[in-house]
Structure 1
Amino acid sequence: MNVVVYTLNAFAKGERGGNPAGVVLEGEDLSLDDSEMQLIAKELGFSETAFMEKSKLANYKISYFTPASEVDLCGHDTIAAFGLMHSLGLAEVGASYTIETKAGILDVDINSEGLVYLSQALPQFFERVSCEEIAPSLGMDPETLESELPIQIVSTGLRDILIPIRSRNLLNEVHPNFDAITAISKKYDVVGYHLFTLDTPDNATAECRNFAPLYDIPEESATGTSNGALLSYLYQHGQRSLEEVEHVMFRQGNSMGCPSEIKAELRLSERGVIKQVRVGGTVAGIERRHIMI
């Protein structure tokens, strides 16, 4: 079978950077089963590939596959899918769509500037993890990793361990032990690590790195779900005020030579309770290719 796959970069900074994604549009090919989708994702080799299908519950159903397995949700691949459809004239500016995912029914919007925003699941805050357990897997001493903020598992659709790093220099000097990160990820049933520092030289809220070797993703250059969780975490721990949770921007991918910008925002109730988490970005570098399976 000859399958049409689009490749592009989501959360791109201008025409540069971003996170490579694969997208198979609904109607482009014959119906694919899970094993065929897994073969395509492995052949493509990107961190995730999205497969769009018809849905009885929403406008679209999207399945997400890493090279190793299926995952419930992928932020950057959702941005890629709708950015692609917008560029092909299949999705309109100002329109809202619903998608059926294994993380639930979620909303996608395309704003007047052509940025695609994904609404994520409401945040869940889970257990904290000690510096002593995490530090060796990053090639660090526990004392170096210690911070006023906790290392904590948070999810807005996917569970990640959020790890504060005190400076950009320390973030860039991290030497991940992927075997150790894989073992800890299995132990805590998480996708991986999302490291961040608030030490930024510009208007970015944080600079981040993301490791998910359990899913054959050594490092990822832009991670939508993790940054939605990160903004929720920063608000939960008093690092962002009620007035500072809109128009937030995170940087990622600089360590990989793939600079990425992830926009994020929280919508709050009158009492300050999080009622919506959104991440957004642009796409670039669209190409069309064929994969035989």
Structure 2
Amino acid sequence: MKVFTSNAFASVPEGGNPAGICLETEGLTEGEMQAIAAEVGYSETAFIFPSDSADFKVRFFTPASEVDLCGHATIATFSLMHELGMIGKGTYRQETAAGILAIEIDEEGTVMMEQLLPRFGGFAEKDLIARSLGISSGSIVENLPVQAVSTGLMDLIVPVLDLSAMESIKPDFSLISEISRDLNVTGYHVFTTETLYGSTAHCRNFAPLFDINEEAATGTATGATVSYMHSHGMLDGSVLTNLKFEQGYEMNRPSEIKAVLGTEGKRITDVRVGGTARRSKTLHL
């Protein structure tokens, strides 16, 4: 079994979030896909199938279980297919467990993926969230909530004051898993508007419930975060086309994620997230 690997959202060669991509899927069972994902060991591995309702059907597996959607693995997958000449510039549709979503690829191979329109969930108690992150409750922004948001996967969006608070995080992965299970979220997406390189926000993502202690770049959580920021008055403009999110720096895997947000007044009409990927090694399992 040949499995390609690619670093999605990499801003430098050693950066980005690695994903596995399996193109040879005919006859694979769910159990075999799960075993392959566990052996690859990356946070997600994508499996590509024909689709009756879209251009491709894509299934995503963490080392522990299948998930409905994965942003960075989507970027890695379509970037690889573009590099291999399987697809060219244009718009495609991928069938996922989260729905059928549009993918746009430009001449340079930048991939932008449609996200579901946001669903806003419940709120979490700040003291408990702070304790699970090993920071003081005062490090969480006072006038903003800790809230669950989904544009494909439900994440808990946690706003912190600054980069100092971000760097001081010492996560209790067991407690984060317990809280994530109780709140029915994939994990935490922590962000601050103080950034290293003039980005929209600086982010860290923790999803130990799915065996992902920390992730270097998280596409679906970026869609949730930009939706959260708009809903709480943190962004200006009716069509926001040049949003950038930096992630992975605390892991020495610098990543840049692009986002586009379309709105009509306070209503969000379009969420897209994307970037580029750098092909890495090929695994033979």
Q: TM-score range by the shorter chain?
A: over 0.9
- Offset from partner CA, 1:113-142 (integer Å, 9 cap, x none): 321011011001111111122111011222
CA contact (8 A) 2:155 2:185 kept: yes
Write the letter of the residue equivalent to 1:288: T
1:35 aligns with 31
CA distance in 2, matches of 1:113, 1:144: 40
1:288 aligns with 282
Aligned to 2:142, which of 147, 157, 162? 147
CA contact (8 A) 1:14 1:284 kept: no
What is the Cα deviation at residue 146 of structure 1?
Answer: 4.3
CA distance in 1, matches of 2:139, 2:25: 51
Aligned to 1:10, which of 8, 11, 22? 8
What is the Cα deviation at residue 29 of structure 1?
Answer: 4.4
CA contact (8 A) 1:235 1:245 kept: no
1:171 aligns with 166
What is the Cα deviation at residue 274 of structure 1?
Answer: 1.3
What is the Cα deviation at residue 272 of structure 1?
Answer: 4.7
1:223 aligns with 218
Write the letter of the residue equivalent to 1:5: V
Aligned to 1:58, which of 46, 54, 58? 54
What is the Cα deviation at residue 108 of structure 1?
Answer: 0.5
Q: TM-score, normalised by structure 2?
A: 0.97
What is the Cα deviation at residue 143 of structure 1?
Answer: 2.8
CA distance in 2, matches of 1:167, 1:215: 27
Q: How many residues are paired up?
A: 285
2:115 aligns with 120
CA distance in 1, matches of 2:250, 2:104: 30
What is the Cα deviation at residue 145 of structure 1?
Answer: 2.5
For 1:52-201, list aligned pairs within 5 A.
52-93=48-89, 95-201=90-196
Write the letter of the residue equivalent to 1:43: E
- Offset from partner CA, 1:124-183 (integer Å, 9 cap, x none): 111111112211101122233342211100000100000001010110110000000000
Aligned to 1:45, which of 38, 41, 45? 41
Partner SS state of residue 245, structure 1: strand
Write the letter of the residue equivalent to 1:12: A
**Aligned-residue RMSD, C-alpha:** 1.2
- Offset from partner CA, 1:267-289 (integer Å, 9 cap, x none): 223x4521111001111133222
Runs of 4+ deviating beyond 4 Å: none
What is the Cα deviation at residue 255 of structure 1?
Answer: 0.3
Unaligned runs of 5+ in 1: none
Write the letter of the residue equivalent to 1:263: K
Write the letter of the residue equivalent to 2:10: A
Partner SS state of residue 171, structure 2: coil
Identity %: 47
CA contact (8 A) 2:80 2:279 kept: no
Partner SS state of residue 161, structure 2: coil
Aligned to 2:229, which of 229, 234, 243? 234
What is the Cα deviation at residue 112 of structure 1?
Answer: 3.1
Unaligned runs of 5+ in 2: none
2:262 aligns with 267
CA distance in 1, matches of 2:157, 2:5: 29
CA distance in 2, matches of 1:84, 1:178: 33
Partner SS state of residue 78, structure 1: helix
- Offset from partner CA, 1:90-124 (integer Å, 9 cap, x none): 1112x111011110010011023321011011001
CA contact (8 A) 2:37 2:62 kept: yes
Q: TM-score, normalised by structure 1?
A: 0.94
